[in-house]
Chains A and B, each alone.
Chain A
Amino acid sequence: MTETSEGSVVICGLPASGKTTFLAALWYVVFDKRDPNALLKFDSLIGLDHSHLNEIMRRWLQAKEQIHTEVASGKMVLMNLKDGDDHKIRVTFPDLSGESFQEMWEARECDPKLAELLRECDGILLFVHADKIKRPIGVAETTQQATGLGGGVPATASPKEWHPKDAPTAVQLVEMLQMLRCDALQAPARRLAVVLSAWDKVEEDEPNIRPDQYLARELPLLDQYLRHGVDGWDVRVYGLSAQGGDFERDGVTDDEARNDSVAEIRALDDASERIHLMTPELSNDLTEPIAWLTE
C-alpha cells in the first residue's frame, strides 16, 4: 500500500470546550477498539508517549471527569489517521488547554507553532461547549432579574473594569476565525466543522433540535458570520455527546443525579455506545467530521 496524499486537520477551541474528552474518545475508537466501522483508521502517533493518551482514555472509560494532565497543559498531540484508500490524515491538537486560542483574542498574538499548523491545514474542527456559552447580558436585564428574585442590585456595588476575557463566547470565536484569515496567518482551510460538545445537555431539554438550529439561536453572531461573512467558510455543525452524560467528579459523591448518570454510562456493554454524534443524523463515528474536512 502506498500513501497517495496527506490531509491535515487542526483541532481548535476555547478552554473547557470538550477537546480533551473528544481526544480520549477518539483514541478509544481508533486505537483501543480499532473500530472497523469508523471512516478513518489509526495510523501512527507522533511526538507523544501513548501513556498520556491511555491515561485520559482510562478516565473516559471509567466515566471520570478529565483532570489537567500534562497533555492538557499545553503539549501538542499529533495523530495520523488514514482513510479507506490509505490517504494519510494528520490530526493535530495544538493545545488541549485552549489557552492559546484564548490568547488570540485577549493578547492579540498567536503561538508560532500554532500559526505554522494553521497555515498548512485543510480543515478546522472547532469545539464549542454547548452548555457553557457565555451570552451578552445587559445591565437592564441583570437588574430586572435581580429585582425579580427580590434582591436588587446594591447601589454601592463597585463597577468592574473591562477585561477581554469577559467577552461573550460568540465574539471570541468570530474573532478567532477572522484572525485565521488575517495577513499574519493566512490559513488556507475552507472547511470548518463546528462541534457542539455536551450535546446530551441540549437534548435533555430539546430532543428534536438540530445542531445548526441551536447554533443560530445561541450564538447568533457566529451563525451570521458563518453564513454571510466574507471569509468563505464551508461549514457543517455537529452535536457531540462524547461522554453520554455526567461523569464522576473527583471529590463529589453526594450528587444523586450525577451518580445515576455515571452508573448508567458504566453499565453500557460497549463504551462506544456512549458516543452520540448528530450530523444531524445520529452516528457514533467520531471520525466522520475529520473525514468530511479532508475529503
Chain B
Amino acid sequence: MAEIAEIQCANPACKVRQDGKCVEGLEKDKCAHYGKPLAAPASPSAAEADRHGIVLPSGDLLDQEEASQVLRRGVSRVIAVVAPKEAGKTTLIASVFELFLRGPIGPFQFCGSRTMYAFERACHPSRGVSRNVRPKTERTLLTTVKFYHAALCRAGGPVLDLVVADRNGEDYGTAADDASAVEEFVEISRADTITFLIDGRQLADPVTRSTVGSEMLAIVQALVDGGAIEGRPRVALVLTKLDDIERSDDSERAKRDFVKIDAKLRELHADAFGEIRSFEVAACPSDMSLPLGHGVADLLAYWEETAPQAVSQPAPHVSSPTRFMHRLQGTPE
C-alpha cells in the first residue's frame, strides 16, 4: 500500500494511484506522465489567486449550467461527438473554429464564441507554432462532459448557437463494456445530432481495421441499451483522417469497410435514430493533399438542420429555461 500511495502521475484524468492502470493504456515506463507530480490544468483559473483586476469570462469550455444558459438565449443545436480515444473528436470540433479563422465556412458566418480560449488551446498542436512535425490535437483530459460554443449564421439569417460536447474517449469506450455508464452521458440524451467518428487512420491500418467498426457499434449498442438515446436524434457517421486513408496502400478497401460499418449501423439501429448520414472528413490533414477542414462544411450544414419531429414524446427544441438545464444536468424534469 505504501508503494501505491507514492505513485504519482501528471495526468489529472489518470487514476493510476487508485487502480494501478494507466489511463492511456501504456506501460508505466512508456508513459510520459507517470511518476511526475500532478500537473495543474492549462486553464485561466490557475492564475485566479493572483488576480488584481476585474475578472472577465474565462473563455474556457462550458460546464452544463453555462451551456444551458447559452441554449436558453435563442435558436440552438446540441451536438454530441462520440468516439473512443484518439479518433479525432477534439480535432474535428476545433477545426470548425480553425476554418472560421480563415473565412466563412460554406454559407456560414462566424458570429462569436464563448469558448475562444478553449478553441485556441485545442488548435495549438495543429499549428506551426507548436513545432509539431504533423498536426495533432491534445487528447481530451476531462473528468466530465464539457462544451465548446460557436455562434454562426447564414447571411441575413438568425444566429444559431452551436454547442458541441467533448468528453474523454475512454468514457465512451467504457460504456461498451458497461452500459450503465451511459446514465451519465447527458449530452447524448440532449443531442440534436449525435456524431459517431470512425478513425480513418485505424481503418487504413491492417492490424486495427477489423476492430474499428465493431468498437464503435458496441458503443452505439450501449447507448441504445442504456436508454441514453431519446427522441430519435439524427446521426452523422463520420470517417475521420481521410488524408491517412488516401495515403494508404489500399484506400479503396478502407472506404469499402466504412460503407459496411454504415450499413451495419443502419441495419441494427435505424429505428433508434431520426436519420443517419455519412461523411468523409479530413479536419486537419498532415499534408496539403487535401484542404484544411475537408468535408467539415457539409457536416456543419447537417448539424445546422432542424431535427425531425420525434415519433414518441418529442423533445421540443425551445421550452422552459429549467428544462434545458435539467436535461443537460441530467436531473428529472
Chain A residues in contact with chain B, CB under 8 A?
Answer: 103-104, 107-112, 115, 136-144, 153, 155, 157-160, 162, 164, 166-168, 170-171, 174-175, 178-179, 182, 184-185, 220-221, 224-225, 227-231
Pick the contact of B133 from A143, A170, A231 — CB < 8 Å?
A143
- Do B131 and A230 touch across chains, with their CB atoms under 8 A apart? no
A-B contact pairs, 12 of them (CB 8 A): A103-B53, A108-B56, A157-B131, A159-B130, A159-B132, A162-B121, A162-B125, A175-B59, A184-B54, A220-B104, A221-B110, A225-B110
- Do A139 and B135 touch across chains, with their CB atoms under 8 A apart? yes
How far apart are the CA atoms of A266 and B124 in the complex, in Å?
Answer: 44
Identify 20 new A-B residue pairs, CB closer than 8 A, beyond the known A138-B127, A140-B288, A178-B116. Answer: A108-B58, A109-B52, A109-B55, A115-B54, A136-B102, A139-B133, A140-B285, A144-B288, A155-B133, A159-B125, A162-B42, A162-B130, A166-B129, A178-B112, A178-B114, A182-B57, A184-B54, A185-B54, A221-B100, A228-B159
How far apart are the CA atoms of A236 and B288 in the complex, in Å?
Answer: 36
Instruction: State whether A139 and B130 are in contact (beta carbons under 8 Å apart), knowing that A104-B56, A171-B120, A224-B104 are contacts in the complex.
Output: yes
Chain A residue numbers with a CB within 8 Å of B98 are 136, 138
In this complex, which of A153, A160, A179 has the most chain B Cβ atoms within 10 angstroms of its Cβ? A160
In this complex, which of B120, B131, B155 has the most chain A Cβ atoms within 10 angstroms of its Cβ? B120
- Do B117 and A111 touch across chains, with their CB atoms under 8 A apart? no
How far apart are the CA atoms of A157 and B132 in the complex, in Å?
Answer: 8
- Do A108 and B57 touch across chains, with their CB atoms under 8 A apart? yes
In this complex, which of A108, A112, A137, A155 has the most chain B Cβ atoms within 10 angstroms of its Cβ? A108
Pick the contact of B55 from A137, A138, A141, A184 — CB < 8 Å?
A184
How far apart are the CA atoms of A157 and B129 in the complex, in Å?
Answer: 12
Chain A residue numbers with a CB within 8 Å of B102 are 136, 220
How far apart are the CA atoms of A137 and B153 in the complex, in Å?
Answer: 25
Chain B residue numbers with a CB within 8 Å of A184 are 54-57
How far apart are the CA atoms of A143 and B138 in the complex, in Å?
Answer: 19
How far apart are the CA atoms of A208 and B133 in the complex, in Å?
Answer: 39
Pick the contact of B100 from A144, A166, A167, A224 — CB < 8 Å?
A224
Pick the contact of A111 from B53, B58, B287 — CB < 8 Å?
B53
Cβ of B22 under 8 Å from chain A: no
- Do B116 and A225 touch across chains, with their CB atoms under 8 A apart? no
